[in-house]
Amino acid sequence: MAGFNRIEDAGDLTGKTALVRVDFNVPMDGGRVTDDTRLRAALDTVQTLRTSGAKVALLAHFGRPKGERIAEMSLAPIAPAFSKVLGSPVSFVGDCRGDAVKAAIDALPPAGVILLENTRFHAGEESGDEALAAEIAALGDLYINDAFSAAHRAHASTAGVAKILQAYAGKSMERELDALDKALGTPETPVLAVVGGAKVSSKIDLLKNLVTKVDALAIGGGMANTFLHARGHSVGKSLCERDLSDTAKEIEAIARGHGCDILLPRDLVVAKDFAANAANRTCGLDEVADDEMILDAGPQSVAILATAMDVANTLVWNGPLGAFEIEPFDKATVQAAQAAGARAKSGKLVAVAGGGDTVAALNHASAADDFTFVSTAGGAFLEWMEGKALPGVEALKS
């Protein structure tokens, strides 16, 4: 996305305090960080700011304390974990507003780093309270948002502070916004979208938005069953939202109106049980028996999807093409992900994926590293795919 403020636009930061909103909502076990991916994601921003002379005060949330101080949701254990990743001291202060916090920031050495306590310990965080935003803003000279995953929320520490202080995208946020722009903002056409997953009902807005923007939309997973049923095909006892037939037809009509091809599975892998290694067979449309369920797309469908990827210059992907957690019903997802990854790796395809189970599915296929960009932001990524304006991103626009 062009037109948002980047750290480079902030000029010389010597002696300034940067308030940096990060995503430190890391998996923890008994006070120990079990996966430091999100801590490492903040490194580039923090080091860039320190190099240009700024002190760094980190703002983050953890869990859902709903405005209460809950000891298990304190960010205190994250400070030493981030210090280890940073290779430099990171202090901690038990609030994110007020005089004691200001004093702790003032006491930092040049280029010092401090982590402030869980912003969600204040009820005003999630309600986007302006007074809380003003108190947080009073702690710094400029604001950096590096937490795309929280950008769909109009919270005090995401959108509120950005309205008061000059606001810039951090390095992770910048990479995310640039990748999203390449995928749907100003993509190289033709653009192919792949949307799978369990249900149409959770992705109606997403599907309606995508068919107005992309050249072809491949629908897979349980949600394809709803579309197949709406087209009059038998789906046996498959996961299928029969009450959404009209919605499926409406989405197909919008797609036709925008010249978007809808690709549905042409062959299916069916089983009588939803279980790993359940006896299964591959069949054509209208060959699903009443006591069978569709658990994956067949090889012909994967071949058609791979051909669509071959002609596409851009791919945006959300959701698995089958019940990928149970073998052998992971096959279509794995093969399609590997085909996309190989083409992206060879530089012929911009492949961007994200949302929910998608990261797990691409990792399962060992394809995530080959994609151009894989977003780990679940909700924010989906809202972006729905075409919604994200308050935390809007606030960074120049």
Asked if 170 touches ligand AMP (CB under 6 A), the answer is no
Any catalytic annotation for residue 197? no
- Contact at 8 Å (CB) between 170 and 6? no
Which amino acid is located at 301 in the chain?
Answer: S
Contact region with ligand AMP (CB under 6 A), list: 50-58, 96-104, 159-167, 314-322: 314-322
Cα distances (angstroms) measured from residue 139 to each of 59, 76, 149, 160, 310: 11, 19, 23, 14, 52
When the beta carbons of 144 and 353 are compared against ligand AMP, the nearer one is 353
| 298 touches ligand AMP by CB under 6 A | no
203 is an active site residue: no
Residue 198 binding ligand AMP, by CB under 6 A: yes
Active site residue 69: no
Whole-Å CA distances, 337 to 112, 264, 303, 306, 342 = 43, 17, 12, 9, 9
> Smallest gap, in angstroms, from Cβ of residue 237 to ligand AMP?
10
Q: Does 221 bind ligand AMP (CB under 6 A)?
A: yes
Is the CB of 135 or the CB of 241 nearer to ligand AMP? 241
Site for ligand AMP contains 396 (CB under 6 A): no
Residue 325 touches ligand AMP, criterion: CB under 6 A: yes
| Cβ-based nearer residue to ligand AMP, 58 or 315 | 315
Query: Euclidean distance between the first and final Cα of the chain, in Å?
Result: 11
Of the candidates 379, 387, 388, 397, the residue annotated as catalytic is: 379
Half-sphere exposure of 223 (CA within 13 A, CB side): 25
Choice between 197 and 392, CB closer to ligand AMP: 197
Candidates 298, 319, 391, 392; binder of ligand AMP (CB under 6 A) is: 319
How many CB atoms lie under 10 A from the CB of residue 140? 23
- 175 a catalytic residue: no
Q: Would you count residue 295 as binding ligand AMP (CB under 6 A)?
A: yes
Distance in Å, CB of 1 to ligand AMP, minimum: 25
Does the footprint of ligand AMP cover residue 202 (CB under 6 A)? yes
Catalytic residues: 38, 199, 356, 379
Residues that bind ligand AMP (CB under 6 A): 197-199, 202, 221-222, 239, 294-295, 319-320, 322-325, 356-357
